[in-house]
Chain A
Amino acid sequence: MNAEVQKEESMVLQKKMIGEHFETLSKAGESGRKVVYTFVPGNLNELILAFDLLPVHPEVNALQSGMRKLSGDYIQEAEKQGHSEDVCTYVKCDIGMLKKGNIGPTGEKLPPPDLLLLSYTGCFTFMKWFELLKQEYGCPVVMLQVPYQAEGKITASQREFVARQLRDVVVPALEQVSGKKLDEDRLKELLASSARAEDDLVYVWESAKHKPSPIDAYFGGVYYIGPIFTAFRGLPSCEAYYRELRREVDYRIAHGMGPTTPEGELRQQKYRIVVEGPPNWTSFRDFWKIFHDEGVVMVASTYTKVGGLYEQGFRHDPARPFETLAEYCLGCYTNRNLPARVDIIAKYVEEYEADGILFNSIKSCNSFSAGQLMMLRELEKRTGKAGAFIESDLVDPRYFSAANIKNRLESYFQMLEAKRQAA
């Protein structure tokens, strides 16, 4: 089997999964299946699937619109409706898409939600977002309150608080929408499947400890998280995807190969970088190319953990369904405090033997960006590695200045080079 075919297999699988999911969604009206909109961080996919409901993730739609260069129009549409320039552009992109016919990433129409399942993990914008969608769709909202990990760890009372809400509020709401009673065995089955896929995903992340790294844990990583953070976690297709991905990674390790990028395989790995912050989606390819051209491989990233920090040991545990779901929500990256985030990144730098740390500060996402410069300073002190700070946006093309970002990144890489030569 050659490398090209290998590369494509997991991609093909993922594409197929997504295609089928959106097709099912587009037929939800005819099939009578009920639809739940929810967020990626702290999503309760297994629970949603246990009720045979169909999940939709507005954030994912927004980022897809960004990648397909549609977000600019959507954002302007939302601004016409009165949304300010500074609002999270995922929200505006979603609202704009809705106003323009709610056509999803595969070109098919998205069904309206029967329920807005709001798991509040670390971002206040989530609440406002669903408040707006509630107005548009007039459907019920159920809210799962997830306390912020202020002390940097999950306490027993926090776990209990979330688990109780799941039993007393979320499950009844899901039962009502679906018209079904919760089947706990089905839920456990789904959770067990999740855990198996999670094992493989962690294997993939940790493969970046190899030199050369067989993966790019940021640009490539955003593809790797597709199935597990969205509609598929808990399903056999998800497990199959990660099995295949793991196989591909093994192949690359065995052959001393670097990750596959749109520009071809990254052979010369000059710098190993850890990244904090979401990528820019509207110029994703160009953004990636800058790194590829400089021989930079991203060995770890925090953004790819927004939907779960599995490599820190967490696995969905079928033996304690509600507690495990509670821990999952509480453990999300965005739900951690700044010192905990610094710890995570510092650990990445050390374990993945990184040369530097890059922060992409997102203009319209205060949730991620607040305190980032402080984190960077702290990390520089702690790890002795140089940090770079760039600013862009998620899906607003107006907030991406290619020349400015290129200038900063080139300077940064040349700075790493100069440091290396001086050492």
Chain B
Amino acid sequence: MDCCYIGIDLGSTTTKAVFLDEHERIMGRGITNSRSNYALACQVAREEAEINARFGLLRKKLEASTSIGALAEPLMAVLACNYALAQHLEQLKALHAECQEVAHAHALPQPELANVGLALDRIFSALATQAELDFHPGSTAASDFFRDLATSQYLKQATAVTRELPVSFDRLVGLFDAAIIRVENHSFAGLYREYLEFATARATADARFAPFAAEIAAAVKETAELRFTVLNIVGTGYGRLTLPFAREQIRSEILCHGLGAHYMFPDTRTVLDIGGQDTKAIQVDGDGIVTGFQMNDRCAAGCGRYLGYIADEMSIGVHELGPLALQSKKPVKINSTCTVFAGAELRELMSLGEKREDILAGLHRAIVLRAMSLLARSGGVDSEFTFTGGVARNQAVTSSLEKLVFENYGKMKINISTDSIFTGAVGAALFAKRDPKGVMADLEVSQLAKNPDCGIAATCSA
């Protein structure tokens, strides 16, 4: 039985969970989008983290094995991507079923209904084929989230299918929009044993690993059945107050980002966190304790949400914004980062003939300029600087930030990690570990497994 501490960061756009062991080492991490249902998001992130922790333990086990040891790394890669594939396929199946159900619920007349059914069959079979190609070891998925992956592929296939069948594109998009929300309100982790079987079967079919099939299956089974004893759990983030936790189990994101950043980069003294709704400039001491901070005012200008609006306005995914902006040669000067006017401003600039990438480069810079002002107000940067939060994944923001920090404060170490999205959850998990007073409020993943229901596990009813 493994003991662990859990930190959950319930953000406005994504929810993250981190498992820590008794030596404060990270065992597992999970992330999902926050959707409209915070309780479910929290549960899903936690389940993902737990699965991630199992994979970590499995890796250790395999590495320690005298027979498989040398092959552990490629084997883990095959297992992990096939696990993800199994989960993805399950979600696609559910999405397909939901789309059909929505079509029926709309009581479409014949022959439209039949054509829509046909179109959906073709789209989803193409999506499944595509998934087989996308999920392979070493693939770098464009996004962690099912919604993002499914949306871009679905739209592509829907466009193709409308050329062959008398079905309107808008109809297909409408079905998708209604269905994806339903699918997102389910947890799929309950089927993890089945996914594992699928992944193990695929892996052991590989000639490299086939000779060790029995040993691999045994190791997989053992880690799959491990029980985690959660000693304490602490929640943070935008939605933290909705968690069914006692007061001592809730920490502000500011403190969690401070402590999490210190954990990841012990010499950091200044932390900038750009989240979905808030931007915070945080100063910490040598122990990761927050000594001061500044936060954006009541308006979410310049926060992650703003990028979301921009992406919607341009009909692209949020993850595509940064790469596009980086292509700019001549950024447009933009001063406002007002969320409300984002759309209007964007359309105006486009109508003036500005290029998309140049506008985006300008927008990214404007966000960073706002963050720079908060940094200055919080006391500036005079030592190692860490950038955390979801927006830290956007390269256009990070490169602009690096430049401005150097210009304003001189050359210094800037920490930007691909894992920085987990900083708040790491901090929360550390608080869980360090504060023995916490009372357990457990969301049992094992209970879900008992409740398999048409391929979709029971969901939290909250």
Q: Which residues of A contact B (CB under 8 A)?
A: 373, 377, 380, 386-387, 389, 391, 399-401, 404, 407-408, 410-411, 414-415, 418-419, 422
Contact = CB atoms under 8 A, between A and B. Distances in A.
7 contacts: A377-B379, A407-B252, A407-B253, A411-B254, A414-B252, A415-B255, A422-B289
A401 B379 contact: no
Interface string B279-314: 000000001011111111110000000000000000
Given A407-B252, A414-B252, A419 B289 contact: yes
Given A410-B252, A411-B255, A404 B298 contact: yes
B364 to A, nearest CB: 24
B16 interface: no
A401 B297 contact: yes
B251 interface: yes
B377 interface: yes
B297 A391 contact: yes
Contacts of B298: 391, 399-401, 404
A373 B294 CA distance: 10
A411 B293 contact: yes
Interface in B245-295: 251-255, 278, 287, 289-295
A247 B295 CA distance: 43
B304 to A, nearest CB: 16
A407 B11 CA distance: 13
A422 B278 contact: no
A297 to B, nearest CB: 19
A401 B253 CA distance: 17
Contacts of B252: 407, 410-411, 414
A422 B255 CA distance: 14
B292 A387 contact: yes
A24 B374 CA distance: 50
Interface residues of B, number: 19
Given A407-B252, A410-B252, A415-B255, A422 B293 contact: no
Given A407-B278, A410-B252, A389 B294 contact: yes
B295 A408 contact: yes
Contacts of B295: 404, 407-408
Interface string B233-254: 0000000000000000001111
Given A373-B377, A377-B379, A404-B298, A386 B255 contact: no
A153 to B, nearest CB: 31
Contacts of B291: 386, 415, 419
A408 B377 CA distance: 15
Contacts of B294: 389
B377 A414 contact: no
Nearest to A391: B297
A418 B296 CA distance: 23
Contact of B297 (A386, A404, A419): A404
Contacts of B287: 422
A414 B251 CA distance: 7
Contact of B292 (A380, A399, A404): A380
Q: Which 8 A-B pairs have the closest CB atoms?
A: A401-B298, A411-B252, A411-B254, A415-B290, A418-B289, A410-B252, A404-B298, A414-B255
A401 B278 CA distance: 12
B258 to A, nearest CB: 9
A411 B290 contact: yes
Contacts of A400: 298
Contacts of A415: 254-255, 289-291, 293
Nearest to A390: B295
Contacts of B251: 414
Nearest to B299: A401
Contacts of B278: 404, 407
B292 A386 contact: yes
Nearest to A400: B298
A404 B298 CA distance: 6
A399 B299 CA distance: 10
Contacts of B297: 391, 401, 404
A319 to B, nearest CB: 48
Task: Identify the interface centre among A391, A399, A408, A415: most chain B CB within 10 Å of its CB.
Answer: A415
Contacts of B292: 380, 386-387
Task: Identify the interface centre among A373, A387, A404: most chain B CB within 10 Å of its CB.
Answer: A404
Interface in B296-343: 296-298
B87 to A, nearest CB: 34
B377 A418 contact: no
Nearest to A407: B252
A265 B171 CA distance: 61
A393 B338 CA distance: 20
A27 B254 CA distance: 55
Nearest to B289: A418
A380 B378 CA distance: 12
Task: Identify the interface centre among A380, A399, A410: most chain B CB within 10 Å of its CB.
Answer: A410
A387 B290 CA distance: 11
A128 to B, nearest CB: 25
A410 B251 CA distance: 8
A377 B292 CA distance: 10
A419 B298 CA distance: 27
Contacts of A399: 298
Nearest to A293: B247
Contacts of A377: 379
A407 B297 CA distance: 11
A422 B291 CA distance: 12
A377 B380 CA distance: 12
Nearest to B277: A403
Contacts of A411: 252-255, 290, 293
B269 to A, nearest CB: 15
A73 to B, nearest CB: 20
Contacts of B254: 407, 411, 415
Contacts of A410: 252
B104 to A, nearest CB: 40
A309 to B, nearest CB: 28
Nearest to B298: A401
Interface in B374-415: 377, 379
B410 to A, nearest CB: 20
A414 B431 CA distance: 12
Given A377-B379, A404-B298, 19 more contacts: A373-B377, A386-B291, A386-B292, A391-B298, A399-B298, A401-B297, A407-B253, A407-B254, A407-B278, A408-B295, A410-B252, A411-B252, A411-B293, A414-B252, A414-B255, A415-B293, A418-B289, A419-B289, A419-B291
A195 to B, nearest CB: 42
Contacts of A380: 292
A419 B253 CA distance: 16
Contacts of A408: 293, 295
B273 to A, nearest CB: 12
A401 B298 CA distance: 5
A415 B253 CA distance: 11
Contact of A418 (B253, B255, B293): B255
A220 B370 CA distance: 37
Nearest to A399: B298
Contacts of B255: 411, 414-415, 418
B339 to A, nearest CB: 14
A54 B377 CA distance: 45
Contacts of B253: 407, 411
B24 to A, nearest CB: 17
Contacts of A401: 297-298
Interface string B61-98: 00000000000000000000000000000000000000
Nearest to A401: B298
A252 B370 CA distance: 48
B259 to A, nearest CB: 8
A418 B434 CA distance: 11
Task: Identify the interface centre among B255, B278, B298, B377: most chain A CB within 10 Å of its CB.
Answer: B298
